[in-house]
Each structure stands twice: as C-alpha cells, then as structure tokens.
C-alpha cells in the first residue's frame, strides 16, 4: 500500500503530535510511505538526510491552497497528482483536519483517493477563528474514510461533533522500549547532577509548564507530603509560560527549597530523569478547552518501571490503569494528590509492584510497533474498499463531475 502523509508540522519540531505521526509512519515498510510538510523547525535538513522516511518540504501557502489564486491552486493540485502517481499512493493520511485535511478532501473529490484524518484534543475542543473554518473542519471530518483518534475521551468528543462512530479508529500512542527502560547508573548520574542524595525520595514531572499539567497543585500538596516524607524533593523537567509563577508560588508556600527546576533537557536524557525518580506525577486537569489528549509521559515513566499519578481528566484515564500502574486523582484536590503520593512513597514494595505492572502493560499494550501495524491494517482496509469502488468512479459521468468540481475550486 502506498501512503501519503500530509502534515503541517513534523519532526524535528518537538511535540506530541509530531512524535506520534513519525513513530507511526517511520515503521511502514520501506517505500510505502512519503511525508509532505511545510514545517522547517530546527535542523530539518540534517533530520531529512538521516530519515529513512522520505520527507518533502514545501511552502506554507501550498497547504492553504484554498486561500490562493487560481494559478497557485492549479500548481498545488498538479504537484499532488504527480506525487500520487509517482509514489503509487493508495491512501492519503492527514495529520490535522485543517489545513492538512483540505488537501486530502480535494484529492478524494477529484482523483477518488481515500483519506484518513488524525485527531488529538486541542483542535477538536478549541473554537475555530471563523465560521468558515468551523464549516470546513466538519466537511473534512464527514468526508474522511476514517478518523483516527488517541483516547476514549477524544473519541467521545468526535461523536458529539457528529462523526459516525463506525468510522472512528482508536490508535493509542506508544512508547519506545529500547529507549525507556530501567537503568540504575543513569539515574545516579542525574541525582548527582542535581544534588539529590541516594535514597532521597523524588517526585518527578516531565511536562510543558502550563496550567493544565497541574504543577501548581503538586506544589500545594508538598507541605502535606513533607509531613510524612520529610526529605521529599520535587524535580520538574520542562519549560513554559508558567515557570516564573511556579517558582514564586513555591517560595510563597514555603516549599521552594524542595523544588528543583531542571528546565528543558535533551530527549536522550529523559530516560535517566524518569529512572532518577521514585514516582512520576502530573495531575493534569481541564483548563477550558485545554485538555490532556492522552499523556505519553505516563507510559514513558511506566516503561522505566515507575508508578505514576495523573489527573482524572481527558485521555490520562486511558494512559493509567488506576490502582494497577498508578493512581488517578482529583486534579484540583491537593489532599487527594498528597494522599496518593504519600501512599507510594511510604510503601516501596507497592511502588515497585505498580512500576513493574506499568512496565508490563506499556510493553504489551502500548508499543509503537503495535500502533503502526494498526495504521497499516487500516490503510489496507481503506484501500481495498476504494478499489472495489474504482470501476464506478471511472465512469465518464463521474469523471465529468469531478472535473467540474475541480474547476469550481479554482
């Protein structure tokens, strides 16, 4: 099966969506997938040279063809049509509904190519800037042969938007077990770097410093936690707009000396940070339309053998097996957060059992290889249905209607 991934953002840009799409499509058999993107974040030239997955970088305006003049629209369609022919594309995969899905929608209307749309959380929940954008978003979802999503929470929101449940496919994010696994030596090095003694209990959060990640509620819970775990340290990895406020908040609440802000760290050091902790904690919560779509960090921590604590909100409910791999808590209740943290920190045997169960679950149920196989199977199914329709599509009347449609788009 030939697959074309249209995505406005892609690696080396750092982000959950970018990692999700890369891990899915880089596992396709050689020659069966190609990426088209306009993203030029970071050292993309080096990334593209080293990538086994072919990446074609285009202009940003190309993805917004529907806002361009007739000549530019025609050039973009000609480029896509030629690419589909050269790469033997059977199915178009759209990283986002807007703008990526608009090109998939056009290719289906004119060339009969089926397309699949990938959804997460933010783009489903946030209001669109104009009525035009909202309407196009719905058109793209309604026209898609399948809509892939990442959690039961986002699946429910799609159904509320009117997407047929039979066209929704759940493909959970995964974790790379070759990268994330228990490692004692690396953990010791991180503790030494940050002045944490051996045996000193550590809570860890790896997340962007924004409200919905719940750092502030952990800080509120620290005073209670320290009453029963006197030498507790809270290690925070990440950067974001809440950095200054969180540091001031910790000082104001008298727990500033228990916090260590490590800032952003390289990807290759993340496993060592997970291993340096005793418990991973991120009590994510809803902040308006800003909701955790899933929470890959919970899987990464579990894969390193660590128990986790997350908020009973959004997709974290799927990422954490409550009472088995960690605890789901009321993300707005510091006492609830403190109680779960103390339970794990005070009972090493319990923490170890939950960490081991989390590692087993992450390996069995949340591998990237498994997720990629799901997408490959989905691609084959969609392509097979389209092939059965192909004879009807090439009927002269259908071709004429498609040509008229294309000219109208110009």
The per-residue pLDDT for 127 is: 85
Q: Do 3-174+368-409 and 184-365 agree at the fold level?
A: yes
Helix (H) or strand (E) holding 157: helix 152-160
CATH number of 3-174+368-409: 3.40.50.2000
% helix, strand, coil for the chain, step of 5: 50, 15, 35
* Residue pair 354/240 in contact by the 8 Å Cβ criterion: no
What does the angle CA 97 – CA 102 – CA 104 come to, to the nearest 5 degrees? Answer: 95
DSSP-derived secondary structure letter, 130: S
The per-residue pLDDT for 393 is: 47
Is the per-residue pLDDT at 65 higher than 90? yes
**Separation between Cα atoms, residue 110 and residue 90, nearest integer Å:** 14
**Separation between Cα atoms, residue 294 and residue 147, nearest integer Å:** 16
**Helix intervals (H) in 1-151:** 16-25, 44-50, 60-63, 70-86, 100-111, 122-125, 131-143
The per-residue pLDDT for 84 is: 96
Is the per-residue pLDDT at 212 higher than 80? yes
Distance of CA 408 to the CA centre of its chain: 36
Mean pLDDT of 362-384: 96
List the beta bridge partners of residue 56.
36
Quick count: other Cβ atoms within 10 Å of Cβ 136? 19
Mean pLDDT of 296-322: 97
Smallest CA-to-CA distance from 22 within 380, 371, 366, 381 is with 371
What does the angle CA 320 – CA 334 – CA 323 come to, to the nearest 5 degrees? Answer: 25
Is the per-residue pLDDT at 30 higher than 90? yes
**Per-residue confidence band for 388, with pLDDT thresholds at 50, 70 and 90:** low
Global pTM reads: 0.89
Domain ranges of the chain: 3-174+368-409, 184-365
**Per-residue confidence band for 126, with pLDDT thresholds at 50, 70 and 90:** confident
The mean of the pLDDT values for the chain is: 93
By DSSP bridging, strand 115-118 and strand 91-94 are: parallel
pLDDT tens, position by position, 131-187:
998 899 999 999 999 999 999 999 999 999 999 999 999 999 999 999 999 999 999
**Separation between Cα atoms, residue 26 and residue 51, nearest integer Å:** 8
**Per-residue confidence band for 1, with pLDDT thresholds at 50, 70 and 90:** confident
Tokens of 347: 């009972």
Sign of the CA dihedral running 70, 75, 79, 82:
positive
**Per-residue confidence band for 386, with pLDDT thresholds at 50, 70 and 90:** confident
HSE of 130 in the Cβ direction (CA atoms, 13 Å)? Answer: 4
Q: Going by C-beta distance under 8 Å and a sequence separation of 6 or more, which residues neighbour residue 124?
A: 154, 157, 158, 161
Residue recorded with tokens 């936690």: 225
The per-residue pLDDT for 398 is: 55
By DSSP bridging, strand 168-170 and strand 259-263 are: unpaired
pLDDT tens, position by position, 303-312:
999 999 999 9
CATH number of 184-365: 3.40.50.2000
Is the per-residue pLDDT at 14 higher than 90? no
**Separation between Cα atoms, residue 224 and residue 216, nearest integer Å:** 14
The per-residue pLDDT for 294 is: 95
């Amino acid at each position: 099966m030939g697959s074309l991934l249209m995505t406005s953002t892609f690696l080396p840009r750092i982000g959950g969506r970018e990692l999700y799409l890369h891990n899915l499509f880089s596992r396709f058999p050689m020659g069966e997938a190609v990426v088209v993107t306009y993203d030029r974040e970071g050292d993309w030239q080096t990334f593209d040279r080293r990538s086994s997955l072919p990446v074609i970088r285009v202009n940003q305006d190309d993805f917004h063809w529907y806002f361009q003049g007739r000549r530019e629209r025609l050039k973009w369609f000609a480029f896509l049509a030629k690419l589909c022919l050269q790469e033997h594309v059977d199915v178009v995969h759209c990283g986002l509904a807007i703008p990526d899905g608009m090109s998939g929608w056009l290719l289906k209307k004119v060339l009969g190519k089926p397309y699949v749309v990938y959804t997460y959380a933010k783009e489903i929940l946030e209001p669109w800037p104009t009525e035009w954008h909202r309407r196009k978003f719905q058109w793209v979802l309604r026209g898609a042969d399948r809509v892939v999503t990442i959690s039961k929470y986002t699946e429910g929101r799609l159904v509320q938007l009117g997407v047929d449940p039979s066209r929704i496919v759940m493909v959970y994010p995964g974790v790379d077990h070759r990268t994330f696994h228990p490692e004692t030596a690396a953990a010791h090095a991180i503790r030494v770097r940050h002045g944490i003694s051996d045996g000193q209990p550590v809570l860890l959060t790896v997340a962007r410093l924004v409200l919905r990640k719940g750092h502030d509620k952990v800080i509120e819970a620290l005073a209670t936690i320290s009453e029963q775990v006197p030498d507790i340290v809270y290690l925070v990895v990440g950067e974001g707009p809440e950095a200054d406020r969180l540091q001031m908040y910790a000082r104001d609440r008298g727990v500033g000396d228990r916090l260590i802000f490590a800032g952003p760290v390289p990807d290759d050091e993340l496993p060592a940070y997970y291993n340096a902790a005793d418990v991973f904690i991120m009590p994510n919560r809803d902040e308006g339309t800003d909701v955790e779509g899933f929470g890959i960090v919970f899987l990464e921590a579990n894969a390193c053998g660590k128990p986790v604590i997350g908020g009973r909100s959004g997709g974290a409910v799927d990422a954490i097996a409550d009472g088995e791999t960690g605890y789901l808590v009321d993300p707005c209740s510091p006492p609830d957060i403190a109680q779960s943290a103390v339970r794990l920190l005070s009972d090493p045997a319990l923490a170890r059992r939950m960490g081991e169960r989390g590692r087993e679950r992450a390996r069995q149920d949340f591998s990237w290889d498994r997720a990629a196989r799901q997408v490959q199977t989905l691609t084959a199914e969609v392509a097979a249905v389209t092939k059965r329709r192909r004879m009807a599509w090439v009927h002269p009347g259908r071709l004429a209607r498609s040509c008229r449609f294309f000219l109208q788009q110009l």
